[in-house]
Amino acid sequence: MHKNYYSLFVLIVAQMDFIRVTYLMSYGIIILAAGNGSRMQSSTPKVLHKLAGKPMLCHLVTTGLSLSNIKQVIVVGGANINQLQAALPQEKIVWAHQTKQLGTADAVAIGLTVLNPEIKNVLVLPGDAPLVSTKTLTKLITNTTPNTIGILTSNVEVPTGYGRIIRDGHKNFLKIVEELDANDTEKQITEVNTGIYLFPKDLLTKFLSKINNNNIKQEYYLTDFFKIAIDNGIAIHSALATHPWEIKGVNNIVQLVELEREFQLQQAIDFLEKGVIILDPKRFDVRGDVEIANDVEIDINVILVGKVIVERGVKIGANCYIKDSTIGANTIIEPNSMIDGAYINKNAVIGPFARLRPGVNIGLKSKIGNFVEIKATVVGENSKINHLSYVGDAKIGNNVNIGAGTITCNYDGVNKHTTIIEDDVLVGSDCQLIAPIKINKQATIAAGTTLINDAPANKLTLNKKDQQSREWQRPPLKGL
């Protein structure tokens, strides 16, 4: 074999072997969440403060579980552990309790007491840095060879407050210098420690006990582990965070709000790059798992929450709130509309000032107009509920027109009942439809009717009312 081809073959085999070894390795995650967060000035534990619509701790748990070969996620809580457990009851978490605040090294040691024995590597995450990505953590894992230590670093424009990464002339990791201990030269370094590390479990077990608490706070700092490792000839690898904002920690409400805005702006930029028109990226919020197709136009102050799918050609007006819903292609959502748990088909028009509650399914080319509220209702194709109406627990056919001020009276004080309106029905203004009731095809319901029985097909149904006039003296005007 030609020498160059042989070298390439050896390189490919080596890379495949490394990938195979990495794939077969098992990982556990320890999230450090025992801090009191006193600077938040809140009774809510710091890691339960919400960012992008969910607690910071939930972001980390979700990201951790998304990684390959993660066998266990451990959260170390302190005095706040009961609140943490109550906030994340359904998550696949093993809990560990740090009864005394003795530092990060102590918290990791407590986490190790509940680690599955078969796990060989431990990824440590700070609970107050919620936005680290799967991509970045995967980079750290792949950059760290077996039986070595990995550290995630980041280059930041303003490194104040962070520990600096000190390297030798060959860019090899030497140590971490904390802000208080850094000299003027070291303070100019912009590569900083993120507090995210990857350790072989055996090394943690071996060296954690060597960390002392000879410091002002008398705490056991995990950063001291690196000097012990280097002194014992352990190699340390590093990886850079994909984005600087991923590793930002939160110590107070100001930082939480700043990180929220930075994250939301980044999400807006990501959508802009995919062909979504966002008229003001600084006034756009995503708080969940959102898919937006290209050629969608979004005006200011739009909030998307939970699982939201917005198909191609949709236009969303200003000040709209959309949660757990699908918006079909070319639909128009007029300003100031609230949509929660709804499916809206193509070419529909919603709003302005419409409210769609859970269980709503809007048909093709249908219109739900201003100040209309709908819940648990299916609306057929090309039907219209244009003004000032409430429709609940209903099944509405195609080509139906419901007049202004009409309501379905679906609740008798104990049970909910269904209103059925078949195709081609016209319901006049200011009608009350007392469920359970059925309006058959092509029926017309006269304005002002209180419908208490089923309405037959092809007929006009109304309540007979006599109009009367009588003598009357208008009271004198007393002024405005």
First to last CA, the chain: 103
364 vs 208: CA distance, rounded Å: 64
Taking the CB of residue 225, how many other CB atoms lie within 10 A of it? 25
264 vs 419: CA distance, rounded Å: 42
Helix, strand, coil % over all residues of the chain, rounded to 5: 25, 30, 45
Residue (of 56, 3, 68) closest to 29 by Cα position: 68
208 vs 221: CA distance, rounded Å: 10
Residue (of 99, 71, 83) closest to 47 by Cα position: 83
Annotate 261-295 with b (16+ C-beta within 10 A) or e (fewer). Answer: eebbeebbeebeeeebebeebebbbbbeebebbee
- The helix (H) or strand (E) run that includes residue 104 is helix 104-112
Distances (CA, A) of 45 to 36, 64, 74, 393: 7, 20, 17, 40
Residue (of 114, 91, 108, 354) closest to 208 by Cα position: 108
Q: What tokens were used for 34?
A: 């025992």
300 vs 279: CA distance, rounded Å: 6
Place of tokens 């201990």: 181
| Residues 381, 383, 386: CA angle, nearest 5 degrees | 145
230 vs 359: CA distance, rounded Å: 60
Annotate 146-179 with b (16+ C-beta within 10 A) or e (fewer). Answer: eebbbbbbbebeebeebbbbeeeeeeebeebbee
**Cβ-contact 357, 374 below 8 angstroms:** yes
Largest Cα–Cα distance in the chain?
Answer: 115
Catalytically active residues, by annotation: 387
Burial class (CB in 10 A: 0-12, 13-18, 19+), 77: buried
Name 356's bridge partners.
339, 374
DSSP-H helix ranges across 313-437: none
